[in-house]
Chains A and B, each alone.
Chain A
């Protein structure tokens, strides 16, 4: 196992942020509307129809455009020297520091350690009935997949196709969809964990759940 649990945790502890650089989408005169340290919120509402926190105005050809935050976080590194100045497209204007939540960190770690089985195309996917019933019976991940095994049923235009697993042999650790869901192409379907790593991964997750403070 080449994952070092302590290194991973130390890495996320030392910097539990994801930094998003906000750059000018086009040329124009910039007028900041956010303040250093201000909390920002991304788009909200059921359909994400309410725009996020206003960050700055960018005016080009008498057309002031409101640039709003796409992430929750905290405003940092506002380049006040550019206030009222004409900037080129791509100029860094500020940064939004987004503090990672427990779930986000777990997701990131899982992405690193699991072997992902992606959706080959946009379709409805189902677990084979045997797999689904085994999963229902056992709480712990135990279904082993090796290359050539029936992994998943893809249903497209009323035709069901059994997809064979191709990849590292391992245990289904995570199912990323609900049976019968319409899944976009390349979205993850299954996360497979080699059996040797299973206990180690579980330990990592458990430790994050217990130790991580938000």
Chain B
């Protein structure tokens, strides 16, 4: 009798603890304890809990049931009134499931790799070899997978809340390669508010860029699941063949607080108004439903009405089903014969999740060589087309016309260059090679016979590319383009002097502005400090006179998410600059070498990258590939991804990196030159992945600016933290160029670097 009573009391105690935990969770979600007197309700539960031995049993049960009713009503109400900002709170709640819960409940068994808990190179990134099983009728099939994800740790300080450090992302990359070697699929589980913004080697931005670059062509099926997808941190392990997202998760370009601080121009350390945070959360379109609508994810994994928690075993079963199903779909798309299995899988989707433990078919996840090729093609197609429908063209009526024109031109150009450089040039090279061999062997005797033949070949196909370039160089040896004197920076039109920022250190003289921005090219003659110059200066002085031919001007920056106030800002920038996007793409030549250039410049939304900029960059990259020309990304300034475009901006990171990877793999030459300030998303993807990155002197390169670093890490950074010298020291860039030597150095690089498929090689 006493035992039963104690058991009842123990059960009641547990029940009351659960009630308290439900109320705490509600307070977490709403972010306000005064909402329907939640704090008082919590006190009430605590009182009952304290009086558990004093109250008569009937009274105790009655009060417990009343409390539960009240909590259930409030939970229903909270679930009905859920907002994007509240979803962010759900994701950040300590009661939400973490990667560890998934490893334990979704996978049968797992072995953690690269360290455990705090004995780890980066405890925020967890890698595990795991087994996941499916039941087909009465048979259990086991699959080996590599699981890579963020562990928020909920209460474990050393996890940094799932913010991966650069070496954590490096660890992730290392094990992606292991999975590739072993031919097993990878499951990426994303639980990060963002990457830890430090520049120490291998560098936050550069490592993310390396990861994305590698993931573009990982030769195994990959599936990602996003619970908390914080911008670049998420992308570091987010480029997958299939992207799942938790229904109560968020995937965003920036945290709503960060966006609110920017939008509200809040000073460092200032309080961001809650209303503004909520407004930004709404406008950023960060929820699963928004992202599915935008096409940045493939499917939503449904959670209970207030989000899944650590003990939500139904959800884990559902997630296991979804992870297997997603991997199946990726694998099936690579098969030449898949109709029946695809049908069976499709049919299964319509089934109730309650029976999700069983599958109708078993699909092995190992791919053949041909299937791997298809996998990579599918991945390329997927990312290249992602968010494409949101790019605005200049005039609505011209859309079809442009499409038709572009398509026709593309086909003709590709055919022409394939014939010219794909068929004729190798043939010519082979003939020359044979002749050279024979010439060498036969010495003077054979030379008399072969020389006329070689001369005939040269006559028919024109002079050799390199020779032609060298002859051009001989004709014009100036470091500036011809007639450079015609362009004078408008900055020089002031009669005043300026002080070099290094004057105290090096004793630099004050500089007369017309001298500085005219003859000195914006460079202090004493210490070499580079004063910023407008992008037009480079257009005029870097490239051969008259060679700049802009293309894709009809692609226009827009406001795809209808972000409040962006239209006005875009219009203002368009009027001010006379341009329609933050990037200029053009064909040009440098000392006779024809190149394709993408230039992000500061005057248009601080050189931020949105859908239009991404599309133009991607097309420029493809043009360089088709025409076998070197591709230069000159970054006058970039402030990162345009936050007002939400995840449509973020996906430009994998999209453009995919184009870059395919260009580099095709044997091209991709050079990135940073000037002034280059930060965030673009550096952490399609710029940072280049094997040849150079900084113009006095430029700053990094992942996050000093303010973000201070606010995230709580540590101050030295004033020269992001300087080009430090970037070079850390290995983020491969050289520092003087602006006055830019043209010459670029030409040298074009002649000496790059793959074999350049038109002049």
Contacts and interface: CB of A to CB of B under 8 A. Distances in A.
Contact of A62 (B495, B716, B718, B719): B495
Contacts, number: 25
Contact of A61 (B497, B716, B718, B719): B497
B385 interface: no
A58 B684 CA distance: 43
B443 interface: no
Contacts of A60: 497, 510
B531 interface: no
A61 B719 CA distance: 29
Interface residues of A, number: 10
Contact of B497 (A46, A49, A62): A62
Contacts of A46: 716, 718
A45 B512 CA distance: 32
A63 B499 CA distance: 8
B499 A65 contact: yes
A49 B719 contact: yes
Contacts of B495: 61-62
Given A60-B510, A61-B510, A61-B512, A49 B499 contact: no
B510 A63 contact: yes
B587 to A, nearest CB: 41
A47 B706 CA distance: 14
Interface string B250-288: 000000000000000000000000000000000000000
B720 to A, nearest CB: 9
B360 to A, nearest CB: 64
Contacts of B716: 45-46
B498 interface: yes
A26 B499 CA distance: 12
Nearest to A62: B496
Nearest to B716: A46
B238 to A, nearest CB: 35
Interface string B500-512: 0000000000101
Interface string A51-72: 0000000001111010000000
Contacts of B512: 61
Interface in B125-174: none
A61 B495 CA distance: 8
A95 B716 CA distance: 33
A61 B510 CA distance: 9
Contacts of A45: 716
A81 to B, nearest CB: 26
A60 B511 CA distance: 11
Interface in B208-241: none
Interface in A139-168: none
A30 B187 CA distance: 67
Contacts of A26: 510
Contacts of A61: 495-497, 510, 512
Interface in B472-528: 494-499, 510, 512
Nearest to B509: A26
Interface in A89-119: none
Nearest to B495: A62
Given A61-B512, A63-B510, A47 B498 contact: no
A47 B510 CA distance: 25
Interface of A: 26, 45-47, 49, 60-63, 65
10 contacts: A46-B716, A47-B718, A49-B719, A61-B495, A61-B496, A61-B512, A62-B495, A63-B498, A63-B510, A65-B499
The 7 closest A-B pairs by CB, nearest first: A62-B496, A61-B497, A63-B497, A49-B719, A47-B718, A61-B496, A63-B496
Given A49-B718, A65-B499, 12 more contacts: A26-B510, A47-B718, A47-B719, A60-B510, A61-B496, A61-B497, A61-B510, A62-B494, A62-B496, A62-B497, A63-B496, A63-B497
